[in-house]
Structure 1
């Protein structure tokens, strides 16, 4: 088995290392040919079907971990989907898509792999349409595709774009105040980056029916307030956390298109937002990393 991973961000690089740890040959494709130690690298535009087909030739699986900027999803995702489908049809490679929970919208909690897709905003509509295209192509017999969906991620490598990344941990570990989107006292599913990678790897080798969704098991559903308290108690710091006022987020969003999209999906942090992965755990045999171990590794990363 040989793998083409699209994207080398936090998810793409962690997933690449997970495949490498299993002794697989991995090629990482990004615009800038970003190197991940142990993997080959190639520079390409994920929306360029010809370039993507050349990169996928001889590869058993295309793992899609790329993620355009929020405000460009409607523009950049359609050509990427078309290019991935064409590359898979031409080369015979399977497709494992890294997805989100956005398409469920304000769903009944917990969200499962079979929850109805009722998007609450534009990005949810885009994610729904991406999976619809892959599922339809699989049902026609053109390709084999699955989608792995995770809630917000955390862990070594999670940067400023993550709600439980550097903007959360750095201030708290420094004994300062972290500012959060939405209400930090609400429970929320948090997916540990290595668990996302393990689920993507397991999904790529599933022997049963594809054309389906898998959920990444959450390491915890603690609120950010509770996580802040645990960090203080466990690591001897005195940080705090508060919610960013809605009016301020909306106001900044007028001038910043990325924050405008963050505001549009901030409902996920104004209500309890959590997923269930019992079916994925049963069928794929994946499990969430112990929360304390995941937190220790994450804090060690930021302190380093």
Structure 2
């Protein structure tokens, strides 16, 4: 039986803990408030506190990092979190598995795989790349072992209202209304089903290979307009997807720091944003949930009425 320390109990940490508990693993969940999840041990700590993270990780096989500070706080919070992780893993021998994203690749990266250069010039992507490189350097010195799971935007039960195809997207569609979108809703985009992201994290935690990234499988790479058409066909509704007008979105970004950070990454929705996960799927023995199945389950989670 493996022992895991999961940092964060949000959209990914919560289902990850449930799946690890279900297979019989020992799970500790660390959050700032000491969130108690079924079958787990709850720990209250600040992930920037190296001593606290080290103590929580003693006896753990893996530290799975699922925390996601608010975008405007990344510059202040991520660097000390990475420093704390380095200290904790070095002291305890626990392997680090990071839940990552595609921000590090940047605009114009083409079809992204784990070997695509991390060439972003966007602030949040650069913060994550710097943290990843810090931990990789520590692995190369023999101090610790680390891997990262990367995924594009995710969807499904628990994805949250603000996910690009979350509650604020599917909710209006199920009422036959307009879902307002960042960027161009006609562009192809890779979408990862949340349970598949969780499965990839578990496979990465079980794998012997570290010092590398893994790419989660993605159920589809269709546009949001195509998703709308499929939802309408399933439900008999007549929903639509439209882009936020540029002036409106610009004003929102000026007024709201979170939207300002979303706007900085809107390049992901102005051109095809695609992923190649074939190598990771072969190496980890994972596969994407078929899109039709994932979409149906997602609509059920939002209480569709057909």
Q: TM-score, normalised by structure 1?
A: 0.97
Provide the aligned length of Structure 1 versus Structure 2: 303
Paired with 1:173 and 1:40, the residues of 2 have a C-alpha distance of 38
Alpha-carbon displacement from aligned partner over 1:243-273 (angstroms, at most 9, x marks no partner): 1122322221112111110000010011110
Q: Secondary structure at the match of 1:214?
A: strand
Q: Is 1:179 matched with 2:195?
A: no
Runs of 4+ displaced beyond 4 Å: none
Which has the higher mean CA deviation after the structures are superposed, 42-51 or 181-190? 42-51
Whether the 8 Å contact between 1:182 and 1:246 is mirrored in structure 2 is no
Q: TM-score, normalised by structure 2?
A: 0.96
Give the match for residue 266 of structure 2: 266
Paired with 1:154 and 1:161, the residues of 2 have a C-alpha distance of 10
Give the match for residue 196 of structure 1: 197
Which has the higher mean CA deviation after the structures are superposed, 63-72 or 101-110? 101-110
Which has the higher mean CA deviation after the structures are superposed, 240-249 or 122-131? 240-249
Q: Secondary structure at the match of 2:13?
A: helix
Whether the 8 Å contact between 1:107 and 1:118 is mirrored in structure 2 is no
Q: By how many angstroms is 1:107 displaced?
A: 3.5
Give the match for residue 251 of structure 2: 251
Q: By how many angstroms is 1:120 displaced?
A: 3.3
Q: Secondary structure at the match of 2:63?
A: strand
Unaligned runs of 5+ in 2: none
Alpha-carbon displacement from aligned partner over 1:39-71 (angstroms, at most 9, x marks no partner): 221111111111111111111100000011111
Give the match for residue 135 of structure 2: 134
Whether the 8 Å contact between 1:179 and 1:243 is mirrored in structure 2 is yes
Paired with 1:49 and 1:129, the residues of 2 have a C-alpha distance of 18
Counterpart mapping for 1:1-304 below 5 A: 1-208=2-209, 210-303=210-303
Q: Secondary structure at the match of 2:56?
A: helix
Whether the 8 Å contact between 1:107 and 1:115 is mirrored in structure 2 is no
Root mean square deviation, CA, Å: 1.1
Q: By how many angstroms is 1:235 displaced?
A: 2.2
Q: Secondary structure at the match of 2:176?
A: coil
Paired with 2:301 and 2:68, the residues of 1 have a C-alpha distance of 23
Q: By how many angstroms is 1:295 displaced?
A: 0.9
Q: By how many angstroms is 1:113 displaced?
A: 0.6
